[in-house]
Structure 1
Amino acid sequence: MEETITGVFDHPPSQEYVAKFTGHINTINCMIVVDDAKEAGEAFKTTYIFTGGYDHLARCFNAETGECLAVYKGHASFIFSLKIGIRMEQAKRNNETYEEPKWYLYTGSFDTTVRRWDVSTGACVCVYALEYGDVVPRLSAGIVQLVEVHKDLVYTVTPDRVLRAWNLDDGELNWEANAHTGAITGLQLREMHETETVYEVIRTPEELYTCSTDRTVRIWEPATGEPKRVLRFDTQPIYCLCVRNDGALFVGAGSSIIYCNSETGATVRSYTSRYGAVKSVFSDGE
């Protein structure tokens, strides 16, 4: 049986900062931190900060220097969510064809579209209108609140409480799921994870996680949308989640952070903040 430990956040929000990144006008709605250690190696990696804001723009900053490296301009309204996806694509050099990783930024907006950007050049390479149905005019999925990407699919969450998966190549709807009864407030893919024991290597497959104000976390099969399990919490509404590849799950429920097992939902630790609702949570594995 897992031990439950409860703690309290006593530290008020800090007024100090280590670095300042400027350029956006008005509110920043979303942010992700990415490093290229997988491709470049730890000794040569650069850490990047990607942001999206009310000014309809996304930006890329060098985390070490604060320099703005690229501005992604094209949305007609606010950017609510963004995600980095890496695809292996063919390239030519010295008359030889080979595969290299290509970085793309995906942004979801109030203008009801998802855009795919070339990270290095800032060029928009694809606009996904997110329309479906056989009758013209086709139905629109609506405002894109959350976005995630995996392999050949991009996932969106819209105000109608529906999770949808779209084909990256043609933008057509692949599958949709509408099991949540409250607003969907978090969306994250957990990559495949391998755990070595003395006797075997245990492989945990990829899973797609959503959380909701209906106080549940739902886990889906990424390729098909098949529901796998539901974790129910006797808490305040859930506003965010973070799942690690090793199976540790963190949810922000009201003013608390709950650290639990992603298979069973059993609580390992919980922490309560005295400074309002928890709207974002992140774990670096430590």
Structure 2
Amino acid sequence: MAVPTTLRQTPLTCSGHTRPVVDLAFSGFTEKGYFLISACKDGKPMMRQGDTGDWLGTFEGHKGAVWGVALSQDASKAASGAADFIAKVWDAVTGEEIYSFQHQHIVKCVAFSPDGSLLATGSNEKLLRIYDLNNPTADPFIISGHTSGLRHIAFLGKGEKIVSCADDRTVRFWERSTGKEIHRIDFTSIPNGIEVSNDDSILTVASGNTVSFWNTTSFEKIKEYQVPSQVHSASLHPSRSVFVCGGEDFKMYKMDYSNGQEIESFKGHFGPVHCVRFSPDGELYASGSEDGTLRLWQTTVGKSYGLWKCSSDTPTSSEILSSPAKTETVA
């Protein structure tokens, strides 16, 4: 049962996309704070200031739905993968396209290595490709093993390992330098989303109506909890105190990591929730939905942070952040 709260959650609604928002990613901390990028089926990834949702720019160039996005830790580069069979790398400061990598099928996911020198892509070809951005004309290193299209990928440690999930109902760990499969976890439902913790020690997996947590060294299951809805994405707070998740019932759930008890649930979206992530400082979490919006939610309701300028008792009303149609400098 949800624990009642005396303060009302007032999410910031970031509009501008015209179709479902299917992926999002935060950068690390920079001199200008942190940033947020969103993937949408309208084919136009958007960059925003992470703590306020303020629109900074739109990356234009794809000719199909964008399924996956990533930001380098320093927010200097952005990446996107799309239904036009192309993965692109962008200058996140100017918005200009830097590289374009052709694939043979829809590119569903992209990820930067921690130092930003490598780009990993996963596609419906069932292959994982690794591009050396210091030598972008070289052929990518290809890792095979999945038997269905990939959904999400992430680097582990300093980039020595990669973890991926796919429609074949598996999560797999790979040695990056050799492409050797290190470990495989089988699920009864497709793992819709994965996330690596800030210290690389815990893998969060959203699958069916469960959220599970795995040790990335021993590969043992740490915890597994049931969620009231089929869940598409989950994110663990940097402090490991709570996790958030969302899925088919349009709700956002905040749950206790220690025992799986529901702390709060909020219904702000008007469609299934496809993606959710905590900000790097854990002060907020972002969600993207079938309804075409991004929403920013406070981890501690009522706290004065970003655009939430609150008194000690009463939160402000929700602010609507519109995205201009034209393209401007991204950061």
Structure label with greater radius of gyration: 1
Question: Partner of 1:144 in structure 2?
Answer: 150
Q: Distance in 2 between matches of 1:277 and 1:107?
A: 25
Q: Does the Cα contact within 8 Å between 1:71 and 1:122 map onto a contact in 2?
A: no
Q: Given the alignment, which residue of 64, 83, 89 partners 2:111?
A: 83
Q: Given the alignment, which residue of 159, 184, 189 partners 2:191?
A: 184
Question: Partner of 2:246 in structure 1?
Answer: 252
Q: Does the Cα contact within 8 Å between 1:143 and 1:159 map onto a contact in 2?
A: yes
Q: TM-score, normalization: structure 2?
A: 0.64
Question: Partner of 1:14 in structure 2?
Answer: 15
Q: CA deviation at 1:142?
A: 2.8
| Regions of 4+ moved over 6 Å | 8-13
Secondary structure of the 1:280 match is strand
Q: Given the alignment, which residue of 80, 83, 94 partners 1:54?
A: 83
Q: CA deviation at 1:274?
A: 4.4
Q: Which amino acid aligns with 1:119?
A: L
Question: Partner of 2:263 in structure 1?
Answer: 268
Secondary structure of the 1:275 match is coil
Deviations 1:124-173 (A, max 9, x none): 55433423xxxxxxxx5332122122133212212121111122121122
Q: Does the Cα contact within 8 Å between 2:169 and 2:188 map onto a contact in 1?
A: yes
Q: How many residues are paired up?
A: 239
Q: CA deviation at 1:102?
A: 6.0
Q: Distance in 2 between matches of 1:116 and 1:142?
A: 18
Alpha carbons of structure 1 residues 15 and 175: separation in structure 2 relative to 1, 3 Å: closer
Q: TM-score, normalization: structure 1?
A: 0.74
Q: Where does 1:155-166 land on structure 2 (aligned, <5 Å)?
A: 155-166=163-174
Q: Does the Cα contact within 8 Å between 1:218 and 1:227 map onto a contact in 2?
A: yes
Q: Which runs of 5+ in 1 are unaligned?
A: 37-45, 87-100, 132-139, 193-204
Secondary structure of the 2:204 match is strand
Q: Where does 1:55-134 land on structure 2 (aligned, <5 Å)?
A: 55-73=84-102, 75-86=103-114, 101=115, 103-123=117-137, 126-131=140-145
Moved more, 183-192 or 107-116: 183-192
Secondary structure of the 1:279 match is strand
Question: Partner of 1:216 in structure 2?
Answer: 210
Q: Which amino acid aligns with 2:169?
A: R
Q: Does the Cα contact within 8 Å between 2:148 and 2:166 map onto a contact in 1?
A: yes
Q: Distance in 1 between matches of 2:274 and 2:8?
A: 18
Q: Does the Cα contact within 8 Å between 2:203 and 2:214 map onto a contact in 1?
A: yes
Which structure ranks higher in relative contact order (CA pairs < 8 Å, sequence separation ≥ 6)?
2
Deviations 1:56-111 (A, max 9, x none): 211122333222222233x211111111113xxxxxxxxxxxxxx56211110111
Q: Distance in 2 between matches of 1:10 and 1:227?
A: 33
Q: Which runs of 5+ in 2 are unaligned?
A: 18-54, 284-331
Q: Does the Cα contact within 8 Å between 1:241 and 1:249 map onto a contact in 2?
A: yes
Q: Given the alignment, which residue of 237, 241, 263 partners 2:230?
A: 237
Q: Distance in 2 between matches of 1:229 and 1:219?
A: 5
Q: Does the Cα contact within 8 Å between 2:236 and 2:243 map onto a contact in 1?
A: yes
Alpha carbons of structure 1 residues 232 and 171: separation in structure 2 relative to 1, 3 Å: same
Q: CA deviation at 1:210?
A: 0.5
Greater strand fraction, Structure 1 or Structure 2: 1
Q: CA deviation at 1:48?
A: 2.7
Q: Distance in 1 between matches of 2:167 and 2:61?
A: 29
Q: Does the Cα contact within 8 Å between 2:73 and 2:116 map onto a contact in 1?
A: no
Secondary structure of the 2:277 match is coil
Moved more, 118-127 or 60-69: 118-127
Q: Distance in 2 between matches of 1:7 and 1:238?
A: 24
Q: Does the Cα contact within 8 Å between 1:7 and 1:270 map onto a contact in 2?
A: no
Question: Partner of 1:196 in structure 2?
Answer: none
Alpha carbons of structure 1 residues 18 and 251: separation in structure 2 relative to 1, 3 Å: same
Report % sequence identity.
17
Secondary structure of the 1:111 match is coil
Indicate yes or no: 2:285 matched with 1:277: no
